[in-house]
Amino acid sequence: MTDAAPRIVVLVSGRGSNLGALLDAGLPVVHVVSNRPQAGGLALAARHAVTSTVVDHAAFPSREAFDSALAAAIDAHAPTLVVLAGFMRVLGDPFVQRYAGRLVNIHPSLLPAFTGLHTHRRALDAGVRLHGCTVHFVTPTLDHGPVIAQAVVPVLPDDTEDTLAARVLEQEHRLYPAAVRWCLEGRVRVDGLRVHVRGAEFPAFGRCVPSPA
């Protein structure tokens, strides 16, 4: 990252719970952009005195046109890092390459397992014993960028999609601010698909335990 004061632009589509975790952690979020005018994350930004912009994807004739407008809204705030927090649009390759090394996402599974949507349901259907979340750099291949950090939770015998999602979300709110801070502090180095974090202590995010009999 640069020597200038760090600046984060956060992209949201929904309620913005991970945005809230970033704000509560005191990270330098300078602007929020949403593709949905009614996204709860916009109200959350306002409560924290953070400015916001709506770039409604439905108003554009193509993904390319939307991505171009989205990039303009981001670049107006000269961010050090662009952080996806429940942003539910697939971004085109030119957009992703524009922010290469500066575009970070959190995904509700232990990537590369369960890329895409409905991760908690699919984890239960697959009968896995461990589930969790992943912070990663965004690349043109969906949900396959270099992994910065992961948090693990057990899948319990009586779990439903909702209970498992809630347990994972709790870990997301702990993991994401820590990983974003490492990026801003220049501790993160990418070597191919491997990420090295210099001088950062990895807290015990989640628990790795076998499911009870």
Q: Please provide the CATH number assigned to the domain covering 106-202.
A: 3.40.50.170
pLDDT by residue for the chain (213 residues), tens only, comes to: 556 899 999 999 999 999 999 999 999 999 999 999 999 999 999 999 999 999 999 999 999 999 999 999 999 999 999 999 999 999 999 999 999 999 999 999 999 999 999 999 999 999 999 999 999 999 999 999 999 999 999 999 999 999 999 999 999 999 999 999 999 999 999 998 899 998 766 554 544 332 232
Q: Which residues pair with 84 in a beta bridge?
A: 11, 105
Q: Which of 107, 131, 136, 173 is catalytic?
A: 107
Domain ranges of the chain: 1-99, 106-202
1-99 and 106-202 in the same fold: yes
**Selection from 73, 80, 85 nearest residue 8 by Cα:** 80
List the CATH code of the domain at 1-99: 3.40.50.170
Q: Check residue 54 and give its pLDDT.
A: 98
- Tell me whether residue 107 is one of the annotated catalytic residues: yes
